[in-house]
Amino acid sequence: MSIFTPKKLILFGLAVILLIAIPLTVYLVGKQQELKSRAAPSTTLSFQPSSATVAVGQDVTFDIIINPNSNFVSFVHLVISYDPTKLEKSGDGFINTNVFPGFDASKPPTPTFDPTGKITVDLAVGSNPSAFIQNNNTKVGTLTLKAIASTESTTTPISFGSETQVLTGQGDQFNTNVLSSTTPASITIIEGVTPTPTTTLTPSPTPTPQATPTPILTPTPTSTTTLTPTPTTGLTPTPTTASTLTPTPTPTTAPPPVVVTPTPTIAPSGPGDVIIGIGAFGIMLLIIGGFLLFVL
Is residue 286 pLDDT above 50, yes or no?
yes
Q: What is the pLDDT of residues 210-244, one digit of tens each?
A: 555 555 555 555 444 444 444 444 444 444 444 44
> Does residue 181 surpass a pLDDT of 70?
yes
Peptide bond into 109 cis (omega under 30): yes
**Pairing outcome for strands 51-55 and 185-190:** parallel
Q: 94 burial class (0-12, 13-18, 19+ CB within 10 angstroms)? A: buried
pTM check: above 0.85: no
Query: What's phi and psi for 23, nearest 5 deg?
Result: -60, -35
- Distance CA(74)–CA(59), nearest Å, equals 31
Q: Is the dihedral of CA 100, 105, 109, 111 positive or negative?
A: positive
Higher local confidence (pLDDT), 115 or 127 = 115
Paired sense of beta strands 118-124 and 51-55, if any: unpaired
Per-residue pLDDT tens digits for 121-178: 999 988 788 889 999 999 999 999 999 999 988 999 999 999 999 999 876 677 889 9
**Residue 95: exposure state from Cβ atoms within 10 A (0-12, 13-18, ≥19):** buried
H/E stretch holding 21 reads: helix 6-38
The model's confidence at residue 194, banded by pLDDT at 50, 70 and 90, is low
Burial 266-279 (b: 16+ CB within 10 A, else e): eeeeeeeebeebbe
Phi, psi of 279 (to 5 degrees): -60, -45
Average pLDDT estimate for 192-202? 59
- The structural domains of the chain, ordered by start, are 42-190 (2.60.40.680)
The reported pLDDT for the residue numbered 67 is 96
41-65 pLDDT, tens digit each = 899 999 999 999 999 999 999 999 9
Task: Report pLDDT for 32.
Answer: 56
| CA distances to 161, 218, 256 from 112, in Å | 14, 101, 82
Tell me the DSSP string of 217-245. Answer: PPPPPEEEEEPPP--SSSPPPPPEEEEE-
